[in-house]
């Protein structure tokens, strides 16, 4: 968790919502099955204070990996340890991003082995914006900018389906998570309040 999500918002709308300058190579939308190791749209704030909407590779690569398969595929970073783990701590402090989506998927697992998928969206219909961290990884002629979704312990209805969920960042908190308003982003790494999310059962696949 979180291992799949959906994006339907066009890049032009993302750029307007986040007041960001869009890159020319953003992923195609709609995509109802965004998977790890693909390019995903993200929002970062550059050193000049300008927000950039640009693609990052989903699957964080620590600088010590010798190649892209030099260790576990780090698609998520746990909020409880992100500031301490060597792989993530510098990114958590200095390189945070926002990852817009329409919703994410999770599977409820039954004792008999059956799995019921859910698409989890915002109940108010707004984009579901996940907290992320990013890292530049270089080896020889390969240059990748990679990211992971920050997750936290689930609560309420979400906890009935899975024990983890992405950290969801509200619009008023976007500047703080992006580092535009100084320190204190750690307080944002918590479960979304009950009622924030809507749960849609999907056909098992």
Catalytically active residues are: 2, 106
Burial class (CB in 10 A: 0-12, 13-18, 19+), 171: exposed
Burial class (CB in 10 A: 0-12, 13-18, 19+), 191: buried
Residue 205 neighbours by CB under 8 Å, 6+ apart: 117
CA angle 146–148–150, rounded 5-degree value: 155
The Cα 23–Cα 155 span in angstroms is 36
The Cα 205–Cα 189 span in angstroms is 32
* DSSP letters spanning 70-103: SS--B-EEETTTTTTSTTTHHHHHH-EEEEEESE
CA angle 148–42–86, rounded 5-degree value: 25
């Amino acid at each position: 968790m979180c291992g799949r999500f959906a994006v339907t918002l066009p890049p032009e709308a993302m750029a307007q919502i986040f007041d960001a300058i869009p890159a020319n190579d953003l992923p195609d939308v709609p995509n109802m099955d965004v998977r790890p190791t693909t390019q995903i749209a993200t929002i970062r704030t550059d050193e000049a204070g300008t927000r950039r909407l640009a693609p990052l590779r989903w699957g964080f690569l620590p600088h010590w990996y010798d190649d892209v398969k030099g260790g576990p595929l780090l698609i998520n970073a746990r909020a409880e340890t992100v500031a301490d783990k060597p792989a993530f701590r510098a990114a958590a402090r200095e390189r945070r991003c926002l990852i817009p989506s329409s919703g994410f998927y999770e599977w409820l697992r039954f004792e008999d082995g059956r799995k019921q998928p859910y698409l989890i969206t915002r109940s108010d219909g707004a984009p579901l914006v996940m907290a992320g961290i990013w890292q530049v990884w270089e080896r020889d002629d390969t240059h990748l900018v990679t990211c992971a979704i920050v997750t936290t312990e689930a609560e309420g209805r979400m906890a009935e389906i899975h024990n983890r969920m992405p950290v969801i960042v509200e619009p008023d908190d976007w500047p703080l998570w992006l580092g535009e308003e100084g320190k204190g982003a750690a307080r944002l790494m918590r479960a979304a309040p009950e009622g924030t999310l809507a749960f849609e059962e999907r056909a098992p696949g």
